[in-house]
Amino acid sequence: MTRLLHVTMALFALFLAGCNVEFDASTPRPPIAPGSAVVPLLEWDKTRDSTLNIVFVPDTSYGDLTQTANLQAFFDDIERVIENGYWQNNAYYSNLAHFNYYYLTVAGSAAAPTTGICPNVTWPAQADSDAGFADLVLLLHPNPLRDCRWGRKATTEPTSYRTVVHESTHALFNLPDEYCCDGGYSVQTPVLYDSLNSCTADAANAVWRNCTSFTADSGSAWWRSEGGTVDIMSGGGDVVLEAGRGDWARMRTVLSALGTPGTPTVFAPATWDRP
């Protein structure tokens, strides 16, 4: 009953207006459980049964988060990521109530790499315990870095909107890369195939089928059902691109396991701006 009331109130509020989030650091909420370092920010489903769950981790550079100003700065950056990142993608926006957002009260750190090209990251232990339920753990850092994702953990600057959505889509929906030629490729139907025959024979991609091959730097050949369509998993630039129709097919499968998904109204290569 409480849950129904919560969703009804959210419906009422959001129906009256376009939605922007504003997290108020002067009235922080209690953690999800006594002693937990995870605090809810935007929680559509407290049980987390029907949501993919994203946990933001502050970089130490935000300072002491018991200070309201520091916490508000962190909150403001999270707002930007949600509004200008996730909600700028029509597939995410069409399913906004399938995503819960939380933050960790314990900081991590992301610094310039000492070896390799990924940042030198220290994750708080709570990322794998208190936040063990998270489908994505996102460490926000204001300092400019070439960010990386390792499975369900990623680092990002709060304004790298395209990177956030691209990497989140990997972690949340297990989508492959679709750019050539040094990405992470695997057979993920109806998006990516390892032979022309399997691509053209898959009825699941019949609506948009344009099987086009590329050869990865490793020498392996791949067939993409979406042809040359530039989408969130293939394109570069600053703007958040939309999901392709094949991408959505896989996203829909994941979301359908959580409940009834909303179908996007815009697919790549079309562009869209959040209202």
Partner 1 sequence: MLNRLAVLVVLQMATAAAAQPAPGDLRTRQPRSLKELIVPPTDRKPLERAARADQSAVLSLMLSGDGRSAPRLSTLRLVDSAAPKVFARSGGDWEVRLIGAETVTYRISNPVTDVEVENPPGSRTPFSQVRQTGDVPFDLIVPLSRNGRALGVRRVDIVDLTTGRTVISTPVRGAR
Contacts to partner 1 from residues 141-200, by CB under 8 A: 146-152, 160, 162-163, 166-167, 170, 173-174, 176-177, 179-184, 186-188
Q: What is each CA distance from 158 to 26, 56, 78, 80, 123, in whole angstroms?
A: 21, 11, 7, 7, 17
Residues numbered 3-32 forming contacts with partner 1, rule: CB under 8 A: 3-7, 9-11, 13-24, 27, 29, 32
166 vs 224, beta carbon nearer partner 1: 166
CB 267 within 8 A of CB 248: yes
Mark 61-100 with x for binding to partner 1 (rule: CB under 8 A) and - for no binding. Answer: -----------------------------x--xxxxxx--
97 vs 111, beta carbon nearer partner 1: 97
State yes or no: residue 109 binds partner 1 (CB under 8 A). Answer: no
106 vs 180, beta carbon nearer partner 1: 180
Q: Using the CB atoms, write b or e for 132-165: b if 16+ within 10 Å.
A: eebbbbbbbbeeebebbbeebbbbbbbebbbbbb
Which of 108, 124, 235, 244 binds partner 1 (CB under 8 A)? It is 235
Report, in Å, the least distance between residue 202 CB and partner 1: 15
Q: Which stretch binds partner 1 (CB under 8 A): 63-71, 104-112, 198-206, 258-266?
A: 258-266
Distance CA 261, CA 254 (A): 9
State yes or no: residue 262 binds partner 1 (CB under 8 A). Answer: yes
100 vs 211, beta carbon nearer partner 1: 100
Write the CB contacts of 234 (distance below 8 Å, at least 6 apart in sequence).
177, 178, 179, 244
Distance CA 209, CA 25 (A): 48
Q: Using the CB atoms, write b or e for 16-25: b if 16+ within 10 Å.
A: eeebeeebeb
Report, in Å, the least distance between residue 184 CB and partner 1: 5
Half-sphere exposure of 43 (CA within 13 A, CB side): 18
State yes or no: residue 219 binds partner 1 (CB under 8 A). Answer: no
Distance CA 49, CA 98 (A): 9
The one-character DSSP state at 156 is E
State yes or no: residue 248 binds partner 1 (CB under 8 A). Answer: no
Count, residues near partner 1 per rule CB under 8 A: 98
